[in-house]
């Protein structure tokens, strides 16, 4: 398979190269033939201002010309009756602005800096005189925004080039730098902007949105080449009506050529030679590392870029007319996954658990015989009781090479090749003196291997979790701009963003306990000293996932008197063809309950027993397996909008806007969406309420092919900007933004994975919650995990299994109410400060707090009787009647009393991906100080003081764990797991004033030797997040009060909660203290039994994970080789101070190590370095 994939990829690369150059040639030829006039490239930036005379009266009909200093491209307009002017569609860069009016001297301001996605204000006061006279000034590098209350951070190109950006797993990723902005937290995969929910960030390229069918805001697979981006901006408060279907935005402007040819060649080398060993990688923790060397890491990122006017000798000269830019880079890495694992000891593999002790007390944890209900003598399982199927896997289990019963196995060496190739280009051209186009295209291909779990073994060992993951991203963008008149500008654009990310299991293995299996099953464990899971997560066979987003935008800028109207229309269409075969190999879950004390009411039921002992006996607690098929999902949205920026006076602007997001819910091409119908019936369930239905009009079908459209998604905008002085502006605004969710969204709701599999066959045996296994022995020849077969649709689909919920009313999308008030102040030395109060409330998010099939808590009084099972022929158990005739046949060993008492006993679980009762509430004070790049210095620093409350974890519905009890949801509305009360971020660069062109030692020879030094930094300090399920820290206790549920302990209110220093973890792992106790375990108490619900909250603000402190530093040396050629040697260090961020403490009250850090692993990387050299011309 690997050879075939490599061959296919190689062939596709060759094809792609041919296509690339053919595309370039066609685009250049077409543009060269289109016209020979000047260029105005479409972009998402602009310029505005007011022209007045010496008395302060406005000057109408003044001619205003803006000229790009790099390309000499000019555009013209005139002031309206209110003396205002406005431009849109300008490329970020430096501009000259000239104003001419009869009876006044001309005014010229040069060096006006225009950033992506911004509209700075440049006002002019004209002087009486003749137009032949000119008053010239140099603009400040930072201009105030007096148009609308948007908050954002821009990193200019000179700074982006100098900042430390790590090559790690892929080449440089431009979206990494968004975390230098205040209020932006998380990772490139899951991040939040100003407290908003994750997977809701808007992405825009050249003013065109990028519709994403899945994981909105995560762009790694289709990021453009790093050097193809001219500038980007993090919008933290998306006020403009042009923004929609997202919370926060990341806007990019692609680089363009200039009148001079320029470019670079670069090579970046990341090598473990520059790295520290790391806290857990030395010989004390990794016995195989006898030479005390850092983990192997060899990475190379190299490429080139070139831009300038497009010139074809004797055919076409594009100076001042047509420009192009091309960038291409390659990336290669050999790395190792150094995560440690937990494995049973050598004697435990023989059945001898005499070493199986509580890590805190040192007391033996007894192993009970499920046949006799008594502890095994000596805590030893007799050899003749060890399962035959288990014995097949035991030789594949490695022995520990570290001390202890947890984190006791070092990684298995495996050099993982990561290969990436990215290329892209842009072309800008003017059709006429008033019309222009901009074209961008890029392609991003990547492949590597991954481990779903820590690499305790590698393939072909059947316990490995390796997958091969090729990915491909492509983008095509076309912009058009037409200045119809001095007061009317029209822009339009179309974007095509494609993404393919596939995954393939690398191991072939047939296990006797799985019928027709071709890959190893997924085997998981719970309880104390639980071994690391075996196999790929869920027993993943392969995934073929193709995604496409198309956007068409059209905007009209109309200036009339005091009014500047922005009105437009946006159309989005997304596609996903997805077949994720995630559970093809079957999943067995082993639990300590099987070998614990038999009585579930016993307070030690959650403490005794061993999941690995249950494995040796061959008795899984639960099992499941399902097949899959490809679903072809589609959605679309149509969004008209209008906004009026009203210049009530030269100082006051009021903003009124409205956006209407008409979101058409998803469809599936073949109606292969099966879901739960609470009002349906099936003879197989004795016609009790609840049955399966599906899209379409067949018998039993829903009678519709998508959810209803909700036409009321109107998002108003109301704001103001008041110019207190020439250097100070106060702004405020409120808006409502509808988000990517509800039945419009199908990707993060995992419709392709969850809603079509019942048609391909599914098998489930859920845990009984007691000692008795629902599945039984996997050695039983009549109990082989079946290979489900495709089943034609009928209303009893899903019997005994999970079914997913859906309703035609699910079209309501989540929405965000956003507000901010900010004060902008221009300071000396081209410095700018913003102080802002920023808040938002998001409503209708997925929460899973309303479990449809939850057992009523009143039945918990039955205690351990809930785990009793119905036998064939029984009509009642413990006074509970058989819910329907086929109940035992559908559920087998899972036919428990608890299952019989749930609202819909025919289903093991009803998961509603579209449940929308989640809410977040965020308030913050944000301060940002920015200095634009002048005199060799630039910096951006931001401090955020914030508080975030919610009752949900994520915008990704499948990531939600849900509340513990839908009948009492008060414990769920708490401080968010993503709450970071304080963050401080600073980035910048400083060129020492030494060398050619500088104040000191500017002699070419001497300065070149001693000068040319530049320092850059990215500093990030974030307070720890609350212990939550999102970081495996939520306070829990063993036990399952509800089917498919979990429990929490009781809170002991007399004991104050607090978080100790995580330096205790360091001292513990260095052997200085006996335990790394982070919080007082006496703050919680176990419930009397697993059938008593605990009263502790979902999260506690006083219990937090470790803070995140990180410093990335850069030193650069410039070598000047002439006026237009220089070399740059750069050394970057990441985590420069070699900090170690430890893991959160043990969160299970039953464990003897509750509240202690026990995981011998760091959440962050050790200090890592890279060196690069580039030639720029």
| Nearest-angstrom CA–CA distance, 404 and 978 | 32
With b for 16 or more beta-carbon neighbours within 10 A and e for fewer, the 646-678 pattern comes to bbeebeebbbebbbbbbbbbbbbeebbbbbbbe
pLDDT value of residue 141: 56
- Among the listed residues 1029, 1065, 1064, the one whose alpha carbon sits nearest the alpha carbon of residue 1048: 1029
pLDDT value of residue 16: 42
pLDDT value of residue 1002: 80
pLDDT value of residue 330: 97
Q: Give the DSSP letter string of 28-54.
A: HHHHHHH--S------SEEEEEEEE-T
Residue whose pair of structure tokens reads 């101070």 in the numeric block: 1137
pLDDT value of residue 142: 62
Residue whose pair of structure tokens reads 């491909």 in the numeric block: 472
Question: What's the token pair of residue 1073?
Answer: 């203290």
| Nearest-angstrom CA–CA distance, 58 and 651 | 12
CB 495 within 8 A of CB 204: no
pLDDT value of residue 138: 64
pLDDT value of residue 31: 41
Residue whose pair of structure tokens reads 């950006």 in the numeric block: 165
Residue whose pair of structure tokens reads 């148009």 in the numeric block: 147
- Rounded to the nearest 10 degrees, how much is the dihedral formed by the CA atoms of 166, 172, 176, 177? 90
Q: What are phi and psi of 611, to 5 degrees?
A: -65, -35
| Nearest-angstrom CA–CA distance, 390 and 620 | 11
pLDDT value of residue 221: 95
| Nearest-angstrom CA–CA distance, 228 and 475 | 13
Element (H, E) at 1109: strand 1108-1120
Q: What pLDDT, in 10s, does the model give residues 689-707?
A: 999 999 999 999 999 999 9
What letter does residue 864 receive in the DSSP assignment?
G
- Give SS3 for 202: strand
| Nearest-angstrom CA–CA distance, 983 and 987 | 13
Residue whose pair of structure tokens reads 């993951």 in the numeric block: 469
| Nearest-angstrom CA–CA distance, 244 and 616 | 55
The burial of 565, by beta-carbon neighbours within 10 Å (0-12 exposed, 13-18 middle, 19 or more buried), is given as middle
- Among the listed residues 38, 48, 99, the one whose alpha carbon sits nearest the alpha carbon of residue 72: 38
Q: What pLDDT, in 10s, does the model give residues 234-256?
A: 998 888 999 989 999 999 999 98
**Which residues on adjacent β-strands are paired with residue 591?**
none
The alpha carbon of residue 1109 and the mean position of all alpha carbons in its chain are separated, in whole angstroms, by 21
Indicate the pTM of the whole model. 0.89
Kindly tell me the sign of the dihedral angle through the C-alpha atoms of 284, 286, 291, 294: negative
pLDDT value of residue 120: 84
Strand arrangement of the beta sheet that strand 229-237 belongs to:
151-155, 229-237, 249-254, 202-205, 208-209
What letter does residue 810 receive in the DSSP assignment?
T
Give all domains of the chain, ordered by start, each with its CATH number.
45-144 (2.60.40.1120), 862-901 (no CATH), 935-946+960-1176 (no CATH)
Low-confidence ranges of the chain (pLDDT < 50): 1-43
pLDDT value of residue 334: 86
- Among the listed residues 339, 2, 332, 295, the one whose alpha carbon sits nearest the alpha carbon of residue 169: 332
The CA angle 595-601-605, to the nearest 5 degrees, is: 30
pLDDT value of residue 29: 42
């Amino acid at each position: 398979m690997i050879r075939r994939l490599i061959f296919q990829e190689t062939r596709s690369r060759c094809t792609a190269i041919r296509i690339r150059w053919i595309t370039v040639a066609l685009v250049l030829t077409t543009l060269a033939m289109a016209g020979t006039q000047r260029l105005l490239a479409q972009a998402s930036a602009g310029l505005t201002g007011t022209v007045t005379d010496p008395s302060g009266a406005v000057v109408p009909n003044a001619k205003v010309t803006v000229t790009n200093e790099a390309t000499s491209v000019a555009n013209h307009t005139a002031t309206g009756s209110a003396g205002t002017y406005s431009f849109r569609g300008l490329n970020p860069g430096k501009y000259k602005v000239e104003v001419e009016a009869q009876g006044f001297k001309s005014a010229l301001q040069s060096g006006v800096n225009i950033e992506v996605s911004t509209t700075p204000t440049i006002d002019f006061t004209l002087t009486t005189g003749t137009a032949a006279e000119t008053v010239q000034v140099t603009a400040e590098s930072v201009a105030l925004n007096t148009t609308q209350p948007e908050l954002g951070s821009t990193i200019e190109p000179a700074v982006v080039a100098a900042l430390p950006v790590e090559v790690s797993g892929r080449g440089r990723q431009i979206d990494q730098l968004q975390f230098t902005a205040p209020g932006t937290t998380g990772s490139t995969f899951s991040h939040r902007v100003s407290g908003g929910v994750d997977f809701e960030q808007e992405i825009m390229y050249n003013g065109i949105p990028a519709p994403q069918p899945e994981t909105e805001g995560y762009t790694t697979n289709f990021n453009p080449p790093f050097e193809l981006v001219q500038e980007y901006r993090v919008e933290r408060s998306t006020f403009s009506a042009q923004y929609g279907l997202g919370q926060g935005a990341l806007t990019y402007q692609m680089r363009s050529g200039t009148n001079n040819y320029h470019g670079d060649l670069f090579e970046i080398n990341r090598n473990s030679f520059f790295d520290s060993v790391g806290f857990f990688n030395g010989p004390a923790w990794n016995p195989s590392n006898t030479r005390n060397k850092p983990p192997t890491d060899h990475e190379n990122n190299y490429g080139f870029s070139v831009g300038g006017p497009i010139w074809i000798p004797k055919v076409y000269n594009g100076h001042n007319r047509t420009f192009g830019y091309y960038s291409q880079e390659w990336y290669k890495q050999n790395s190792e996954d150094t995560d440690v694992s937990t494995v049973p000891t050598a004697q435990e593999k023989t059945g001898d658990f005499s070493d199986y002790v509580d890590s805190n007390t040192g007391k033996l944890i007894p192993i009970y015989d499920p046949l006799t209900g008594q502890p095994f003598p000596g805590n030893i399982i007799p050899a003749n009781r060890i399962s035959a199927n288990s014995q097949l896997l035991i030789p594949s289990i490695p022995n520990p090479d570290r001390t202890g019963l947890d984190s006791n196995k070092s990684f298995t060496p495996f050099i993982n090749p990561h290969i990436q190739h990215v290329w892209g280009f842009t072309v800008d051209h003017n059709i006429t003196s008033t019309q222009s186009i901009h074209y961008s295209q890029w392609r991003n291909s990547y492949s590597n291997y991954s481990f779903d779990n820590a690499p305790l073994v590698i393939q072909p060992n059947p316990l490995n979790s390796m997958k091969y993951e090729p990915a491909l991203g492509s983008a095509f963008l076309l912009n058009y701009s037409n200045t119809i008149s001095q007061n009317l500008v029209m822009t339009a654009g179309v974007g095509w963003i494609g993404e393919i990310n596939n995954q393939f299991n690398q191991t072939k293995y047939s296990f006797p306990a799985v019928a027709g299996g071709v890959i190893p099953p997924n085997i998981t464990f719970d309880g104390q000293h639980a071994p690391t899971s075996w196999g790929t997560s869920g027993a993943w066979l392969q995934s073929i996932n193709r995604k496409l987003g198309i956007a068409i935008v059209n905007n009209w800028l109309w200036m009339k008197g005091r009014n500047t109207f922005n009105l437009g229309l946006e159309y989005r269409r997304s596609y996903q063809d997805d077949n994720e075969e995630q559970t093809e190999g079957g999943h067995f879950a082993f639990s300590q309950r099987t070998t614990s004390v038999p009585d579930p009411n016993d307070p030690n039921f959650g403490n005794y027993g061993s999941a690995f002992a249950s494995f040796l006996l061959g008795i899984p607690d639960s099992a499941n397996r399902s097949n899959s098929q490809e679903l072809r999902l589609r959605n679309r949205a149509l969004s008209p909008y209008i906004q009026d920026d009203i210049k009530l006076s030269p100082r006051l602007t009021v903003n009124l806007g409205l956006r209407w997001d008409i979101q058409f819910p998803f469809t599936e091409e073949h109606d292969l969406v099966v879901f739960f119908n609470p009002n349906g019936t099936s003879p197989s369930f004795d016609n009790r309420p609840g049955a399966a239905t599906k899209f379409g009009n067949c018998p039993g079908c829903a009678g519709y092919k998508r959810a209803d459209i909700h036409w009321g998604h109107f998002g108003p905008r109301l704001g103001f900007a008041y110019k207190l002085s020439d250097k100070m502006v106060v702004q405020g605004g409120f808006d409502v933004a509808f988000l990517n969710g509800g039945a419009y969204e199908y990707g993060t709701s995992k419709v392709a994975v969850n809603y079509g599999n019942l048609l391909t066959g599914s098998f489930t045996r859920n845990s009984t919650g007691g000692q008795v296994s629902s599945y039984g022995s996997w050695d039983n020849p009549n109990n082989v995990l079946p290979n489900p077969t495709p089943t034609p649709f009928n209303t009893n689909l899903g019997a005994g299994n999970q079914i997913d919920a859906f309703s035609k009313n699910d079209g309501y999308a989540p929405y965000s109410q956003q507000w901010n008030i900010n004060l902008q102040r221009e300071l000396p030395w081209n410095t700018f400060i913003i102080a802002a109060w920023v808040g938002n409330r998001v409503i209708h998010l997925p929460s899973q707090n309303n479990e449809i099939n939850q057992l009523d808590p009143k039945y918990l009084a039955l205690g351990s009787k809930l785990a009793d099972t119905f036998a064939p022929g029984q009509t009642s158990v413990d006074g509970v009647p058989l819910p329907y005739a086929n109940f035992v046949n559908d559920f087998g060993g899972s036919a428990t009393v608890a299952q019989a008492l749930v609202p819909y006993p025919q289903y093991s679980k009803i998961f509603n991906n579209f449940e929308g009762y989640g809410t977040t509430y965020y308030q913050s004070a944000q301060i940002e100080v920015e200095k634009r790049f002048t005199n060799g210095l630039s910096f951006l620093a931001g401090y955020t003081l914030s508080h975030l409350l919610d009752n949900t974890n994520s915008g990704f519905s499948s990531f939600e764990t849900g509340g513990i009890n839908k009948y009492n949801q008060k414990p769920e509305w708490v401080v968010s797991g993503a709450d970071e009360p304080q963050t401080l971020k600073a980035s910048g660069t400083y060129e020492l004033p030494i060398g050619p062109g500088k104040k000191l030692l500017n002699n070419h020879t001497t300065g070149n030797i001693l000068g040319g030094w530049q320092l850059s930094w990215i500093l990030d300090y974030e307070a720890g997040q609350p212990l939550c399920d999102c970081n495996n820290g939520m306070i829990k206790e063993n036990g399952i009060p509800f089917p498919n549920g979990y429990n929490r302990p009781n809170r002991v209110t007399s004991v104050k909660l607090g978080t100790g220093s995580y330096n205790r973890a360091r001292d513990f792992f260095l052997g200085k203290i006996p335990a790394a106790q982070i919080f007082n375990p006496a703050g919680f108490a176990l419930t009397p039994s697993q059938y008593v619900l605990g009263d502790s909250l979902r999260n506690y603000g006083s219990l937090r994970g470790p803070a995140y402190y990180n410093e990335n530093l850069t030193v650069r040396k410039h070598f000047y080789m002439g006026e237009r050629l220089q070399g740059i040697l750069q050394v970057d260090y990441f985590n420069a101070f070699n900090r170690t961020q430890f893991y959160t403490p043990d969160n299970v009250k039953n464990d003897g190590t509750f509240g202690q850090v026990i995981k011998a692993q760091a959440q962050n990387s050790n200090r890592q370095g890279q060196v690069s050299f580039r030639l720029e011309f």
